[in-house]
Amino acid sequence: MTRAENKDSNNHPEFGVDSRYTSKKESQSEATALMEARLARMKNVSKDDIIRAKLMQLKLNMEAFIKQPIHEPHNYFSEFLQSYIDAIYSKRSIFAMDLDITPSKLSQVINNHREPQDEFLLKLMIHSEKIYANVCPFQKEIWYQVYFHEKLCKMMSTQKEWTSKFENVVSVSEPITKYEK
């Protein structure tokens, strides 16, 4: 059998199945061997490499969130903040101490009981800049971008509720005539 014929007989694109294995037992054996190899490799990964990977993943997730069109409201800022803290620190209180804020204030921000103040965001930006210095390029203003994109999503997704409330009180004293081509 030629290489081209072998390639064609091993793959069935109409079914999306790779048929290189002659039996289910052989397929499971290969999957088990692959998993064991992955686990063995993961055991050799350092704690710093794991933290770097988590931070890079967080950065990519935040950048993707900012690029998304406006959608349903969700607490992405607090989720990203939790991921950031949990990737680096064993206890959130240590992070609060590093930012010179109280653990209860941090908890309120994380649990969406309090909006993050500018001072908090500025400290977070400085902290991120220092942490990411040895990981990958990081735009420190991304924390503000995530925060305000989330607020915009929340505002626009509830537009039906607030439009009717304010529509009656907003007026236009000097309308502009319609533009004609």
Q: pLDDT tens for residues 9-19?
A: 455 555 555 56
pLDDT of residue 108: 93
Can you tell me whether residue 180 is helix, strand or coil?
coil
CB 82 within 8 Å of CB 58: no
Give the span between the Cα atoms of 75 and 102, in whole angstroms.
21
Q: pLDDT tens for residues 127-159?
A: 999 998 888 888 888 888 888 888 888 888 777
In this prediction, the residues of the chain whose per-residue pLDDT falls under 70 are 1-19, 21, 70-73
Q: What is the CATH number of domain 47-157?
A: 1.10.260
Which residue in the block uniquely carries the two structure tokens 């499971």? 28
pLDDT of residue 21: 65
Residue ranges covered by each domain of the chain: 47-157
